[in-house]
Structure 1
Amino acid sequence: MKKFLLQFFTWWNGQTLGTRFHTWRHGTEVGRDEWGNIYYEGGTDSEGRTRRWVIYKDIAEASKIPAGWHGWMHHRVDTPPSKEDYQPRAWQKPHQSNLTGTSAAYRPKGSVLGTGHRPVVTGDYDAWTPGA
């Protein structure tokens, strides 16, 4: 019951009722990734291509799609990773969750939220003052 209510009232928990209905009606499961996300295709989009979508296992976050599936989702390749022996390239980094908005987010030197001090500004800049 809880999962149904989450699908009814939120869009970020797995799938919405509209997506569930569309998947039931038009979707064909293509594969699953190592995090439990399920990939589907079916119907056509506005450009006449086969529509592709993902149902996330947990919270819907686009950065949770691995590189191989990302290429398939965006029509860069025709064969999904589940139908081939896909191996990531040496330069492809392993997945890291989007940390924006968390205490582990990247905060560069000089950031207001960073722990360091902002470097002293030097040079020929003179601050504007009214009436000067």
Structure 2
Amino acid sequence: MKKFLLQFFTWWNGATLNTRFHTWRHGAEVGTDEFGNVYYQGGTDSEGRTRRWVMYNGLADASRIPAAWHGWMHHRTDIAPNDENYQPRAWQKPHKPNLTGSSAAYRPKGSILTGTERPRVTGDYDAWTPKS
């Protein structure tokens, strides 16, 4: 019952009821990624292309979609990554989660969160002043 209420009142806790209904009615499962996200297709969008969507395993976070599935979702390729003909490009890197907001997030020198002092200006910068 708790899971149902979470899905009914919050869109970020798994799939919404509308998405589940649409999937049941129109969706054909295409594959699953290493995070347990399940990908579907079915029907057509406003441009006449096959509609594609994902049902996340856990919280809905678009940064949890690996590069290969991202390309398929956005119609960059018609070959799903779980297809035997799929070959990742040499430049594609393994998936990394979005670290924004975590303790592992990037913090440049001088950030108030690093405790270091900001580098001094070296003289190659002239502040703008009106009518100059």
| Aligned-pair CA distance for 1:85 | 4.5
Where does residue 91 of structure 1 map in the other structure?
A: 91
- Could you tell me which amino acid in structure 2 is paired with residue 81 of structure 1? P
| Aligned-pair CA distance for 1:68 | 1.4
Where does residue 37 of structure 2 map in the other structure?
A: 37
| Aligned-pair CA distance for 1:93 | 2.0
Does the CA-based 8 Å contact 1:68-1:86 persist in structure 2? no
Gaps of 5+ in 1: none
Where does residue 68 of structure 1 map in the other structure?
A: 68
2: CA distance, partners of 1:45 / 1:121: 52
TM normalised by structure 1 equals: 0.86
- Could you tell me which amino acid in structure 2 is paired with residue 7 of structure 1? Q
TM normalised by structure 2 equals: 0.86
Give the aligned CA root-mean-square deviation in angstroms: 2.0
> Percent of counterpart pairs with the same letter?
73
1: CA distance, partners of 2:45 / 2:38: 19
2: CA distance, partners of 1:18 / 1:104: 35
Equivalenced residues, count: 128
2: CA distance, partners of 1:66 / 1:109: 30
2: CA distance, partners of 1:127 / 1:29: 57
1:63-97 Cα offsets, whole Å, 9 max, x none, are 11112111110001112112225343343222111
Does the CA-based 8 Å contact 2:7-2:15 persist in structure 1? yes
Alpha carbons of structure 1 residues 28 and 120: separation in structure 2 relative to 1, 3 Å = same
2: CA distance, partners of 1:4 / 1:121: 56
